[in-house]
Each structure stands twice: as C-alpha cells, then as structure tokens.
Structure 1
Amino acid sequence: MSAPNTMLQTVRKGLLMSQDDLARALRAAGDRAGDPNDASKRLVQRWEAGTISVPRPVYARALETVTGLPIDALGFTGLASVERVADDGAGGHDLMPATSGVAAAQAPSPRPDASAARGQYSGVWLSRYEYFSSGRNATHTGAHFVVVLQHGPRLAVRSLPGSSDSPLTMDLELDGAVVTGSWTEQTASEGYYAGARYHGAIQMLVEPTGRRIAGKWVGFGKDFDVNTGPWELVFKDASTSKATLAKYNHRP
C-alpha cells in the first residue's frame, strides 16, 4: 500500500484550506498564470492518500504558487523538481500513480538542467519592512525569512513558519526591473495586533546586482488609516532544498 502524503495535508491545513479550497486555489493559480488545470477535490484526496506520488508539472507549478513551497518540500516521492518530469501531453490528472519498481522504471527520465526554468529569483530571501505604530508612538521592523518561487514573471513569496508568529505572503509580478503586487500578513493571535489580518499593495525595484529588491508598501492601519513605509527583500540562498529551508526556518 502507498504511504499517505502527510506533508501535503499538513501544509493544506496550515493554510486553513479544505481539499475543495485547495483545488479551487490551484485552478485559480493556473488561470492567472495562463497555465490552466482541472484540479479537483478528488485529485487532492488522491495526492494526500499517496495514490498518486508524482503530480504532473501543470499541477506542480500551481502547487508551488499556492503553497509558496517547492514541490519537493510537499511530500511527493520520486520528484526532485517541478521541471524534472516531462509533461507528456497525454492528459489525465497525473503522470503515474504510486506503483512498484517496473512501472517506476518507465517514468520519464530527468532533464539534465532544471534549475534555470525555476527562475533567477527563486530561493530564500530576507524580507524586512518598517511601519509606524501610532499606539506605541514608535517605528518598528517586521522581518521574515521567505521562500521566493518564480514562474515566468510571477513571484510567489511565502514566509517560513519558524521565522515569525505572523505568516506573510506576497504575490508579485516582474516587469523588467519593476516589481508590483500585493502582500498579506496574519498577525500573531497573542501579539499586539491580536491576530488581525492586514493586506495591501507594494511596488519595488530590483537592484542591478539582482540580490536586493527594495521599494514601498501601502496598506491600512489599526485605525483604518492608509499607511506606507519601506520594504526590502535581500537574497540569502538560491537553493530551496529541505536542508536549506530548515537552515532558515528561524527568526531572523
């Protein structure tokens, strides 16, 4: 019997999504990227049950976008990278269910170089922004280690869970050296902002080195006034392996 994919289930529950919610989010991510898919609740169930151990690339790309994690950190077996399994164009939900050695030996062979397809900005970055707290009459800094996954001009940014009690997500799009998009932060339930959810817009510029992206955020404050402040992403590591994510899964 195949082993259940408990990692994917844990990530889904951490996003407060049902299996239906995840399927809808995957379809929406595919549509936004011009890479449509037909993800369903049944497909998510088969992944989590371990019945299917290798998702097709169209689903793997959507999974990375929605979860903000590399596909090899989502509990799938026999898959080192989203681009290392060729999409055979034959349709269906996935390339191969979890099977024994003979069938596994017939799986598509790895591509020799997959890293370039992931995008030059993929990796671990330090996210740091400043905001003024009127209630405390002081300027504070929010910092997270985040995973950036690039698919074409789109950047999915998700904070590592151990880097902060306030999970952060950013959905960005590149236009040359200009980065534009949105951010969302769910503040800690026991923190000063008592679990409030904040969100807003952001625009940044990529420095010529490609190792720092800096600009300004805009969003509403605790008293529903509109605030702004500086925000930067500083490159740390191009790898998104499990070992690298574990290395940065702590407070900056």
Structure 2
Amino acid sequence: MTSPNESFRAVRLGLRLSQDELARRLRDVGEQLGEPNDASKRLVQRWESGEVRAPRPVYLRALEAVTNVSADRLGFTSAQLPPRVTDDGTGGHDMTSDRSFPTPQPLPAPTGDDYSGVWLSHYEYFSSSRENTYSGLHHVVLTQRGNRLAASSLPGASSNADSPLHLDLTVDRNVVTGTWTEQTADDGYYRGARYHGAIQLLVDPTGRRMTGKWIGFGKEFDVNTGPWELTLLDRSTADDAIRRFSVVPTLPDPA
C-alpha cells in the first residue's frame, strides 16, 4: 500500500495549477533547461498518489525549477538510481531498480480533527541588522493525511514580497511538530536567502488556532526563535477558496 504525497499536492494547490497545467509547465521548463521531458497528467497523478517517490533526475530538476521547492520538500527522494531499461532500449518515465524496498506502511489515522484548509500563518522575528521586530504573514493551504500535515503558501499571498513558505508537520493529539522552509524574495531585504528550522505548536480546543514557537539559524549562524501562529480561515481547499486567498494577507483587527 502506498501513501499519497501530500507535500507535493499541497505545493501544486498552492501554485493554483491543475495536474495537466503542472505537466505542461514541466515540459516547458524542460525545453528551457535543454532537458526535454515527457511530463503528463498521468505522471503527476502517480507522483501525488505516492506510486512514484523517486522521479528521474530530469523531472526532479524541472519540478524544482517550476515550484522553487527542493525535491525533498516536495516529498521525493533524489537518489541517483539508474532508470530501468526495457528490451527495446527505452526507459520509462520514472526511476526503478531491481533492489527490494519494504512496502510503505499506511499512515496512522488522524488523532483528532482534519486540519485541511486555508490558514493564516503569522510569525515574528527580530532583525539584528535593523534592530527591530518584524512579522511574516502568509496564506497557506494545508492538507492532512493521517497524522501528517503539509502546508504551502499561496502565490501572491505573502507580506514579505514573494517569499514562498513550506511546512512539513506531524500532529499528535493537540501537539503539532515539524519543520519550516522559507525562500526569501530575490529583490527583498534578504536577497533570496533560504531559511529553515523547526516549529512546535499547540492546537486550541476549537481546532481553529495553533500557537507556538519556531527556531532557526540566522545569517551569523546564531540560533534565533520567536512566536508562530496559524489561524484557520476556510476549511475548503477547492479552487474558489484558493483564488480568494491568493492575496497579500493582513492581520485581523483585535477583538
């Protein structure tokens, strides 16, 4: 039994692309990179279903170029295994091997609510170079499979120019733990720097708010931390909800 690749699906939804549109983007970027590929809707479906976890390098490079997300954050492995060659000398879309791998076990059932939906992500950080505290706001689409949560910011839905945010989380009752990655804008203050770290949140009894802290390394290799909060905006991950929240977020007025 295979487990769906929710991280990859969350990124695709965050980009507001259908499976067919993503395949077309992959083919286009392959041509631009000088590495033509045969990406198709069916291939994207196989990636999302978890049937294929190790796409060929030509697809991994195209995926990273289109999504601006590393292969591991997309839920893929980049192990350089040789493609299987058929009797007629042609290879398939995806990497295969004669090695035997253990059958993936199904994920545990959700321990509480299903937290899928569109959320407002709000964190605070102190900038030592500017000697001030700043906020980062993103609208993120979160998908849940078992006890795994994957979140990806929506296009144009960041308060810090174009700075895609990705979360890979695990929920245990009311405790959410995982990692975060943010790619800052090339023309922003941090000049395209990539930051990542850990995060732990507590879910409130309503299941509509998560609060906690993040930790990560700064430019001088010092350890930084600050508050982080996720607030549910819409339970839906349908196209209309994604379009509605693909805008620069603002903090709600205090009650």
TM-score by length of 2: 0.58
Change (3 A) 1:8 1:144: farther
Unaligned runs of at least 5 residues, structure 2: 1-18, 60-72, 76-92, 94-109, 250-255
Where does 1:1-252 land on structure 2 (aligned, <5 Å)? Answer: 5-10=20-25, 37=52, 40-41=55-56, 66=74, 120-164=114-158, 165-252=162-249
CA distance, structure 1, for counterparts of residue 204 and residue 238 of structure 2: 26
**Gaps in structure 1 of 5+ consecutive residues:** 45-64, 68-92, 94-115
> Alpha carbons of 1:232 and 1:38: their partners in 2 closer, same or farther (altered >3 Å)?
closer
Aligned residue pairs, count: 173
Larger RCO (alpha carbons 8 Å, 6+ apart): 2
Q: What CA distance in whole angstroms lies between the structure 2 residues aligned with 1:12 and 1:213?
A: 39
Q: CA deviation at 1:6?
A: 2.5
CA distance in 2, matches of 1:227, 1:125: 24
**For 2:119, what is the secondary structure of its paired residue?**
strand
CA RMSD of aligned residues (A): 3.8
Matches of 1:13 and 1:215, distance apart in 2: 41
Structure with greater proportional helix content: 1
Q: Deviations 1:105-126 (Å, cap 9, x if unpaired)?
A: xxxxxxxxxxx9xx61000000
Change (3 A) 1:13 1:141: farther
CA distance in 1, matches of 2:27, 2:230: 26
Q: 1:136 to 1:38 in 2, by over 3 A?
A: closer
Q: Structure 2: how far apart are the matches of 1:235 and 1:187?
A: 24
Counterparts of 2:201 and 2:28 in 1: how far apart (Å)? 31
Moved over 4 A (4+): 11-14, 17-20, 35-42
Shift of 1:142: 0.1
Judging changes above 3 Å, is the alpha-carbon distance between structure 1 residues 133 and 248 closer, same or farther for their aligned structure 2 residues? Answer: same
- Could you tell me which amino acid in structure 1 is paired with residue 20 of structure 2? N
Q: Deviation per CA, 1:116-143: give whole Å up to 9, x if none.
A: 9xx6100000000000000110000000
Instruction: Give SS of 1:5's match.
Output: helix
In structure 2, the CA distance between the partners of 1:9 and 1:207, relative to structure 1 (3 Å rule), is: farther
Separation in structure 2 between the aligned mates of residue 129 and residue 135 of structure 1, nearest angstrom? 18
**Secondary structure of the residue that 1:193 maps to in structure 2?**
coil
Tell me the SS of whatever aligns to 1:222: coil
Shift of 1:5: 2.0
What is the rounded CA distance, in whole Å, between the counterparts of 1:173 and 1:210 in structure 2?
Answer: 15
Residue 192 to residue 241, structure 1, CA distance change in 2 (3 Å): same
- Deviation of 1:222 after TM superposition, in Å, equals 2.0
